[in-house]
Amino acid sequence: MNVIIDLCVIPMGVGLSVSPYVAACQKVLEEAGLEHRMHAYGTNVEGEWDAVFAAVKRCHEAVHEMGAPRINTTIKVGTRIDREQTMQDKIDSVERKLCE
Amino acid sequence: MNVIIDLCVIPMGVGLSVSPYVAACQKVLEEAGLEHRMHAYGTNVEGEWDAVFAAVKRCHEAVHEMGAPRINTTIKVGTRIDREQTMQDKIDSVERKLCE
Amino acid sequence: MNVIIDLCVIPMGVGLSVSPYVAACQKVLEEAGLEHRMHAYGTNVEGEWDAVFAAVKRCHEAVHEMGAPRINTTIKVGTRIDREQTMQDKIDSVERKLCE
Amino acid sequence: MNVIIDLCVIPMGVGLSVSPYVAACQKVLEEAGLEHRMHAYGTNVEGEWDAVFAAVKRCHEAVHEMGAPRINTTIKVGTRIDREQTMQDKIDSVERKLCE
């Protein structure tokens, strides 16, 4: 089962600068070989369910290992069985409507 | 690694009544033996990371098997390594502050 | 337009104990006279759109006034124009399915 | 109070193709003159609190007017009073860490 998620990992108890932790998660996604694109409020990730959620778990482990005692993550998860759809397909689909 | 999540599974392309699908997810959580409590906008679930996310995957599978072609889920995920905390602890902690 | 939201306000840069801030938000909702119910990962709130979102803004203001330099909030927002539905209706609707 | 939000509006009861509704929300944000950037799972929007949430309300109104009887929206909301930060600042901040 393929999945597109939007992942936003927020470490707590580490002060205000969360960018080193977000960067660590980007590296986890990179090493997992998963297609991913960061935006200002999270990262879109696409891939096979088990591979994607294994990477999410590794993000939590990595951020805890960096010293964050507590983590609050939000994940949006989309699956569909009617047809294949990539992250780019979703964006293209809206942009076509905007041009009509 | 223990986790407390808030799970909100929304089937798409099945009309307006989503309660049969939410009920199916409740049964999945029940069968998984995971502590869980439904509220008006999702379900709090607590347990070991792998058990909890295996149940989330089974929810998606169950809802697709019931005929939903597309699913949009939102998950909040909390982990902490400084101390143990249950769902009830979190609520108690706020309620104590309200009584101060 | 009536709305049911799920509100989860997370202060950052204040250490690990967020319960005083969550309790402050509960008081804001109380003072606003909005129907609300806390769970382990947020608070369900129902009411008229403008009243509900005015309260959300006051929560951010109150939490900043308590000293939190940064806040990360997640809100789920449900509206429907086909029929009226309360928070309790949503729960009842799933529970009926569970008993079938 | 300035805010950066991530907005994901999901119409229900309209079948599987939600792109016309997402496109309508893009137009609302455009007309509101708010800085916004779409990604595969929502749209980042930045601006003054009242202007941003007035636009969110207009999105719900527009999507209902197009015929969607029910809407499920997820909003992430970030405010900070320690310093100014744009959507692009957030991305730059992570990318600098990735290059270290």
Alpha-carbon gap, residue A19 to D92, rounded angstroms:
9
Chain B environment of A49 (Cβ under 8 Å): 57, 60
Inter-chain CB pairs, C–D, below 8 Å = 77
pLDDT digit string (tens) for B22-57? 999 999 999 999 999 999 999 999 999 999 999 999
Cα–Cα distance, A18 to C63 (Å, whole number): 19
The DSSP symbol for C85 reads -
The confidence score (pLDDT) of residue A69 equals: 96
pLDDT-derived band at B16, boundaries 50, 70, 90: confident
Quote the minimal CA–CA distance from A47 to chain C in Å.
25
The C-alpha torsion from A53 through A56 and A60 to A65, rounded to 10°, is: 100
Contact between D68 and D18 under an 8 Å Cβ cutoff? The reply is no
What average pLDDT does range B54-69 have in this prediction? 98
Nearest to D34 by CA among D57, D12, D18, D11: D57
- Written as six digits, the tokens of C26 are 């509960």
Nearest by CB to A74, from B64, B71, B76: name it: B76
In 3D, which of A41, A49, A34, A37 has the Cα closest to residue A87? Answer: A37
Nearest by CB to residue A12, choosing from C12, C69, C74, is: C12
pLDDT for A99: 83
When pLDDT is cut at 50, 70 and 90, the band that residue B21 belongs to is very high
Q: What is the pLDDT of residue A25?
A: 97
Burial (CB count within 10 angstroms: exposed 0-12, middle 13-18, buried 19+), residue D8: buried
CA–CA gap between residue D29 and residue D6 (Å, rounded)? 12
- Chain B residue whose CA is closest to C36: B40
Q: Using an 8 Å Cβ cutoff, are C52 and C3 in contact?
A: yes
Residue D45 to residues A66, B68, D7: CA-CA distances in angstroms? 30, 31, 7
pTM of the model: 0.96
Q: Look at residue B78 and tell me whether its pLDDT is greater than 80.
A: yes
Residue with token string 């590794």: A58
Residues from chain D that touch C81, judged by Cβ atoms under 8 A, are: 64, 69-70
* Residue C16, pLDDT score: 86
- Quick check: B41 and C7 in contact, CB under 8 A? no
Task: Give the Cα separation of D90 and A40 in Å (integer).
Answer: 6
The tokens of C72 are what? 């990360």
Provide the shortest C-alpha distance from residue C66 to chain B (in Å): 14
pLDDT at B15: 86
D27 touches chain C (CB under 8 A): no
Question: How would you write the pLDDT of chain A (100 residues) with one tens digit per residue?
Answer: 999 999 999 999 998 889 999 999 999 999 999 999 999 999 999 999 999 999 999 999 999 999 999 999 999 999 999 999 999 999 999 999 988 7
C5 backbone dihedrals φ, ψ, rounded to 5°:
-120, 160
E strand segments, chain D:
2-12, 35-39, 42-48, 70-80
pLDDT, tens digit (0-9, with 9 covering 90-100), for A5-32:
999 999 999 988 899 999 999 999 999 9
- The whole-angstrom separation of Cα B25 and Cα B28 is 5
Structure-token pair, residue C28: 């804001």
At residue A88, the 3 state secondary structure works out as helix
D62: amino acid identity, one letter: A
B31 CB neighbour count, 10 Å cutoff:
10
Report the alpha-carbon distance of residue A29 to residue A22 in Å, rounded: 11
Residues of A within 8 A of B56 (CB-CB) are 77
* C79–D69 CB contact, under 8 Å: no
Tens-digit pLDDT profile for chain C (100 aa)? 999 999 999 999 998 889 999 999 999 999 999 999 999 999 999 999 999 999 999 999 999 999 999 999 999 999 999 999 999 999 999 999 988 7
What does the pLDDT average to over D31-39?
A: 97
Contact B74 A75 (CB under 8 A): yes
CA distance B38 to chain C (A): 8
* Residue whose pair of structure tokens reads 């964050």 in the numeric block: A68
Residue D48's nearest CA partner among D61, D63, D37, D32 is D32
Which of B8-12, C51-55, D1-5, D16-20 is the least confident region?
D16-20
Contact (Cβ atoms closer than 8 angstroms) between residue B28 and residue D31: no
Please give the average per-residue pLDDT across D63-87, as a whole number: 96
- Residue B17 confidence (pLDDT) above 90: no
Distances (CA, A) of D43 to D5, D22, D64: 8, 9, 19
Taking the CA of residue D28 and the nearest CA in chain A, the distance in Å comes to 12
Token couple for C90: 């949503």
Query: Which chains would you list as touching C if contact means 3+ CB atom pairs under 8 Å?
Result: A, B, D
- pLDDT of C37 reads 96
